[in-house]
Chains A and B, each alone.
Chain A
Amino acid sequence: MTARSTRSGISADKNTDVPAASLSRRTLLAGAVGVIGATLLDNASALHAQAKGLMPSPRALDDPGKVQGHIPTELGERSPFEHPRRRVNRAAPSGESESPLQDLYGTITPADLHFERHHGGVPVIDPAQYTLLIHGMVDRPLKFTLADLKRFPAVSRVCFIECSGNGYRGFQTTTMKREATPSWIDGLLSTSEWTGVPLTTLFREVGVKPDAKWLLAEGSDAAHMTRSIPVEKALDDAMIAYAQNGEAIRPEQGYPARLLLPGWEGNSQVKWIKRIELAKDPFMTREETSKYTDPLANGTARMFSFVMDAKSLIIFPAYPNTVSRGWCIITGLAWSGRGKITRVEISTDGGHSWQTAELQAPVLSKCTTRFRYPWKYNGGEALLMSRAVDETGYVQPTRAELVAARGAGTFYHMNSIRGWKVERGGKVFFHVEA
C-alpha cells in the first residue's frame, strides 16, 4: 500500500501528461513502484495482480501499450491467462499424475508439469545429507555426496521418460472410453533436458569388476524402489541426473538425484537414488517380478522388458476438441526407446491410406519428436490415426497386432496405434476398439 499514491492534476487518460522527472522521483520514493495518476495506478494494480497471479485490471488489459508493465521479479510466473495442470489420477502415496499433453507445445515438458508416478509418496531429502553409495563387485566401494557428483564432468541429454504402464487405459477394453483426452490416454510421458554424471564415470571411480553383469538401484523413498539393471545399459548411456531443464531436479522427479536410463521404462529409472550394488545376477525384487512383468498369451510373462517400443499419439485434434471445416494442422508426438523416429504416418480414413507427416528437427534419439500434418477437413466423418517408425525399422503396431503378439490381457508397454473418431460436424472422440 505504501507504493500507491495519487497526484491530482494529472489526466487519468493521458500518461503523456506525467512529467518524466516526477515519475522518476516518485519511482525512487516508492522504492520500486512509482504510481502517479489513475493510469499508473492501473499499472500498479497490474503489477500487484501479476505478482499474485491475479488478473490485471480491465483498463490495463484494454491497451497494454498505454501503461507500464510490471517490474522485474525474482521468480517468473505463468501468464494469468494460462493454467496448465497435471491431472492427478490417484491422490495417494502410491499415486500418479499425468502431464497435460494437450496444453503443451514442442517437446520439452515444463518441470512442474512432468508426470508423476511413485509408490511411496515424494520424499523430502536434504541435499546436504544426500549420499550415493556404490558397492558390491567393485574394487573401491565409495560414497558420493551431491557436491561430489557435481564435481565430475557433467553431460546433458534431452530424452523422454514414459511410465511402463502408460497407455493401458486406451488399450484395455475394460477401461477405454470415448471421452478420453490425450493426457488421460498417454499422459505418463514427459520430456526434459537432464544433466548429470555418466554412470561410466562413476564406474571408473569405483572400479567395477569385469564379471559384474547387473546393478541394483535403490531409491530412498518409503517404497524403497529397487530395480536390477544390466551393467550393459550403464556402460551405454545411463547417468545419475541431478538437473532437469536447467535447474535442480524437482522432488517428484527424484530430487536431489535419480537414475536416468534413456528409452527405458520409467520405473527402472530409480528416483531419489541412494545406492547402487554391482552383482553377477539380477536381484529379483518385487518391482521386477510381481510387477513390471508382461503377461503373454502363451502362459508366460516377460521379465526385464525395459525398452519402450516406438509409439505416437495425435494430440490435436483430440477429445474434447471440435474440428472446424477447412485446414486443420494435425499434430502430436512420436518417440522410441530404441533410437530416433524416422517417419510418422497419418491416416484420416482409419488406416486405409497413410501419408507422411512432417517431423520437427532436430530429431533426437530416445526423445519425443513433434510431428505435423496439414489436413483439409470436409465436415464429414473421419478416423485419425498416427503410426511411428523408428530407426530400427520398427513400425508401431495396431491394437490387433499387439493382441495377437501378446494377448488381450497383457499389461505394460501398450504402444498400439491410437485413433480419434471425428464425427460429422467435427466433434472428436477417442476411438474405442473391441
Chain B
Amino acid sequence: MRRAVLAPVVLLALVVGAAIVDVWPRLRRSQMPERFGFGTPATSEEIRQWANEITPDGRGLPHDSGTVAQGESIYRLRCSGCHGVTGTEGPFDRLVGREPGDSFNFGRDPNFLAKRTIGNYWPYATTLYDYINRAMPFDAPGSLSSPEVYSVVAYLLNRNQIIPANAVMSDRTLPLVRMPARDRFVVDDRSGGRSVR
C-alpha cells in the first residue's frame, strides 16, 4: 500500500528533476549497465588517418621539412589572394606584423587598431602547421603536402621576424620555435559571484 502511494511521487520527482536538472546520475546508478556494447572498435590505422592534429610538443608532425624560399612561392600562389602579397593587406586575416610589440596592448586599445597577427599574438608555432595543414588554403582545405605546409609556416615565421631567412622548419625544429606572445596567455579567472572580471 505504502509503495503504491510512493511510486507516483518518485516518478513525479524524476520527471520534475529531468525538467530542471540532469536526472542522469540518478538513473545511471539504478538502471545503467556498465556498458551497452554499442559502437565498433576503431583500428589504429583508422585512428592514424583521422587524428592529424599537431600539439605544441610537436606530436603528430610528419617527418619532413620546408624552407622560407619555397614557402614564399607557395604563399604567393595559394595564400596571397586572401591575406595580401606581404601578409598585411588582407582582405582576410592579417598574418604579418609585430606591432604593438612588447606592450601587447590589445586590451587597452578602444579603436582596435592593432590587428592580432601570427607575430604579435599566436603563442605556439605548431598551431600554424596544425591549422594550415587541415583548414587552408581556404579554397582547397587540406590540399598542401607536408613539405609545402612546412614551407609556408617557415615563410610566415620569417615574415614575422621570428626565424631567419635560412631557417628550415621540420618536425625537429618547429616545436623549438618560441613565439613572441608565448607568455601572454593566462587562464580564465572568472568564477561568477560578486566579482566582475
Report yes or no: B22 in contact with A237, Cβ–Cβ below 8 A.
yes
Known: A224-B134, A365-B21. A205 touches B47 (CB 8 A): no
Known: A290-B122, A295-B107, A303-B188. A393 touches B42 (CB 8 A): no
Residue of B35, B37, B107, B108 with most partner-chain A CB within 10 A? B107
B56 at the interface (CB under 8 A from A): yes
Q: How far is the CB of A198 from chain B (nearest CB, A)?
A: 5
Chain A residues lying within 8 Å of B27, measured Cβ to Cβ, are 153
Chain A residues lying within 8 Å of B19, measured Cβ to Cβ, are 362, 364
Chain A residues lying within 8 Å of B35, measured Cβ to Cβ, are 204-205
What 0/1 readout, one digit per residue, does chain B (1-37) give for beta carbons within 8 Å of chain A? 0000000000000000011111110011000101111
Report yes or no: A174 in contact with B108, Cβ–Cβ below 8 A.
no
Known: A142-B41, A309-B190. A285 touches B53 (CB 8 A): yes
Q: How far is the CA of A141 from the CA of B196 in the complex (A)?
A: 42
Q: How many residues of B contact A (CB 8 A)?
A: 64
Other-chain residue from B18, B109, B188 in contact with A408 (beta carbon distance below 8 A)? B109
Interface-lining segment among A46-54, A241-249, A398-406: A398-406
Size range of the chain A interface in the assembly = 35 or more
Output the nearest chain B residue to A222 by Cβ-Cβ distance: B141
Output the nearest chain B residue to A277 by Cβ-Cβ distance: B51
Q: How far is the CA of A365 from the CA of B18 in the complex (A)?
A: 12
Q: How far is the CB of B126 from chain A (nearest CB, A)?
A: 7
B161 at the interface (CB under 8 A from A): no
B194 at the interface (CB under 8 A from A): yes
Query: Within residues 142 to 197 of chain B, which ones have a CB less than 8 A from any CB in chain A?
Result: 142, 184-194, 196-197
Q: How far is the CB of B36 from chain A (nearest CB, A)?
A: 6
Chain B residues lying within 8 Å of A151, measured Cβ to Cβ, are 36, 38
Report yes or no: B55 in contact with A200, Cβ–Cβ below 8 A.
no
Query: Within residues 212 to 256 of chain A, which ones have a CB less than 8 A from any CB in chain B?
Result: 216, 218, 222-224, 226, 237
Report yes or no: A135 in contact with B42, Cβ–Cβ below 8 A.
yes
Q: How far is the CB of B120 from chain A (nearest CB, A)?
A: 10
Query: Within residues 255 to 279 of chain A, which ones have a CB less than 8 A from any CB in chain B?
Result: 274-275, 277, 279
Report yes or no: A392 in contact with B193, Cβ–Cβ below 8 A.
yes
A77 at the interface (CB under 8 A from B): no
Report yes or no: B36 in contact with A152, Cβ–Cβ below 8 A.
yes
Report yes or no: A299 in contact with B104, Cβ–Cβ below 8 A.
yes
What 0/1 readout, one digit per residue, does chain A (9-33) give for beta carbons within 8 Å of chain B? 0000000000000000000000000
Output the nearest chain A residue to B134 by Cβ-Cβ distance: A224
Report yes or no: A305 in contact with B188, Cβ–Cβ below 8 A.
yes
Chain B residues lying within 8 Å of A409, measured Cβ to Cβ, are 105-112
Q: How far is the CA of A181 from the CA of B96 in the complex (A)?
A: 36
A42 at the interface (CB under 8 A from B): no
Q: How far is the CA of A172 from the CA of B107 in the complex (A)?
A: 12
Query: Within residues 353 to 400 of chain A, which ones have a CB less than 8 A from any CB in chain B?
Result: 362, 364-365, 390, 392-395, 397
Residue of B18, B20, B34, B112 with most partner-chain A CB within 10 A? B112
Query: Within residues 156 to 174 of chain A, which ones have a CB less than 8 A from any CB in chain B?
Result: 156-157, 172-174
A289 at the interface (CB under 8 A from B): yes
Chain B residues lying within 8 Å of A406, measured Cβ to Cβ, are 107, 197
Report yes or no: B185 in contact with A226, Cβ–Cβ below 8 A.
no
What 0/1 readout, one digit per residue, does chain A (131-155) give for beta carbons within 8 Å of chain B? 0010110001111110010011101
Report yes or no: B196 in contact with A286, Cβ–Cβ below 8 A.
no
Report yes or no: B32 in contact with A153, Cβ–Cβ below 8 A.
yes
Q: Which 5 A-B pairs have the closest CB atoms?
A: A392-B192, A407-B107, A295-B106, A408-B110, A295-B107
| Cβ contacts A to B, 9 pairs, < 8 Å | A119-B135, A142-B41, A201-B36, A204-B34, A206-B39, A279-B55, A304-B188, A362-B20, A394-B193
Interface positions of A (Cβ within 8 A of B): 93, 119-120, 133, 135-136, 140-145, 148, 151-153, 155-157, 172-174, 198, 200-201, 204-206, 216, 218, 222-224, 226, 237, 274-275, 277, 279, 281, 283-286, 289-290, 293-307, 309, 338-339, 362, 364-365, 390, 392-395, 397, 401-402, 405-411
